[in-house]
A and B are shown apart, each in its own frame.
Chain A
């Protein structure tokens, strides 16, 4: 399901970017870093200030985990991460860019940026429509926007059988319903898994009112 939300992120900027176009450079960097990712929640700015005050540095790594580093003894204290927003599909606007905070020892400045964006987050129990991308004897893969869903053959109705061949597909005994590449199906999500770069779901079409919506090529 798509949502429109306000998210906050701490953007780090090298001093060479300071000048007249500081805000534009910040916004460009934000778009480049955030759009298309499904990162974990970021440590908010008040928490970060608090940590910095205590002599703890907050580092966000490439894999979206947040590590707390003690600046005095340079030892990692803990790893902090919570929840996920799903994929950030597009940033629609910038609400606010806060005051920059100079990080001890490095000279980089961190700006807390509040921005509005469209996110896609699949939920367990949600019913949505998807396009089949691949069919094999274990089940089929479908895509719903940026998210991939796998429907195992155990969760496909018993009256559908796998047919191998040039165009592998699942067909009912009487041939009336067929699931093949580019078919549109309505499925229910029964589980989700999130890692740093993508969201993967497991789905079912075994319940009422689920299954093929249309045959490929049958509609415009």
Chain B
């Protein structure tokens, strides 16, 4: 399909239904999946049988690659003015420098030039803004 050929997460070109859906960071998913796992353990005698392989693999993955252990810290991270997808990629990868952040999420550097942007807060982030954001993110991680 031509729509899928144009798909490119680096430029935030992803299908509408995903842009509108809520994007989740690994730490948030780990909370949801652990809760579900506990529910399964309570309900059935044999939770291992009930779990699909996809669930098990996802649970192991998010537990291993969670950066923020504290849900409050995660809520703080979510306050930044970025598209959900960009925010989650940054939250998952935790880049340390501005160059790294731009390499991970090239779309944060692209200014949206439009009439709408003139009336709302412009999304163009210059290097200083990105650096400040990265510093805040690492502080949240250190002191969570």
| A interface residues with partner B (beta carbon < 8 Å) | 1-5, 35-37, 82-83, 87-90, 92, 118, 120-121, 123-129, 131, 143-146, 184, 186, 189, 207-209
How many angstroms between the C-alpha atoms of A125 and B4 in the bound complex? 12
How many angstroms between the C-alpha atoms of A129 and B1 in the bound complex? 27
Q: List 3 A-B pairs, minimum CB-CB distance, nearest first.
A: A36-B52, A125-B10, A123-B9
Instruction: Give the dominant DSSP class at A's interface.
Output: strand
8 Å CB contact of A126 from B9, B32, B36, B99? B9
Contact digits for B55-91, partner A, Cβ 8 Å, 1 yes 0 no: 1011001101100000000000000000001001100
| B interface residues with partner A (beta carbon < 8 Å) | 1, 7-11, 14-15, 17-18, 21-26, 28-29, 32-33, 36, 52-55, 57-58, 61-62, 64-65, 85, 88-89, 92-93, 95, 99-100, 103-104
Q: Quote the shortest CB–CB distance from A169 to chain B (angstroms).
A: 20
Q: A145-B57, A146-B53 are in contact. Are A1 and B23 (CB under 8 A)?
A: yes
Residues of B within 8 A of A208 (CB): 99-100, 103
How many angstroms between the C-alpha atoms of A150 and B21 in the bound complex? 28
8 Å CB contact of A90 from B32, B88, B93? B32
How many angstroms between the C-alpha atoms of A146 and B59 in the bound complex? 9
User: Are B54 and A87 within 8 A (Cβ)?
Assistant: yes
Residues of B within 8 A of A36 (CB): 52-55
User: Are A146 and B58 within 8 A (Cβ)?
Assistant: yes
Residues of B within 8 A of A87 (CB): 54, 58
Residues of A within 8 A of B62 (CB): 2, 145
Q: Quote the shortest CB–CB distance from B143 to chain A (angstroms).
A: 20
Closest to A144 in B: B61
Residues of A within 8 A of B55 (CB): 35-36, 89-90
User: Are A5 and B9 within 8 A (Cβ)?
Assistant: no
8 Å CB contact of B29 from A2, A121, A128? A2
How many angstroms between the C-alpha atoms of A88 and B33 in the bound complex? 12
Closest to A210 in B: B103
Closest to A116 in B: B22
Closest to B85 in A: A1
22 A-B residue pairs with CB within 8 Å: A1-B24, A2-B24, A3-B18, A3-B24, A4-B22, A5-B21, A35-B55, A36-B53, A83-B17, A89-B58, A120-B54, A120-B58, A123-B8, A124-B8, A125-B7, A125-B10, A127-B104, A128-B89, A129-B92, A131-B61, A208-B103, A209-B99
How many angstroms between the C-alpha atoms of A92 and B32 in the bound complex? 8
User: Are A145 and B61 within 8 A (Cβ)?
Assistant: yes
Residues of A within 8 A of B57 (CB): 143, 145-146
8 Å CB contact of B11 from A35, A120, A125? A125
Q: Quote the shortest CB–CB distance from A34 to chain B (angstroms).
A: 10
Closest to B88 in A: A1
Residues of B within 8 A of A186 (CB): 93
Residues of A within 8 A of B18 (CB): 3, 5, 121, 123
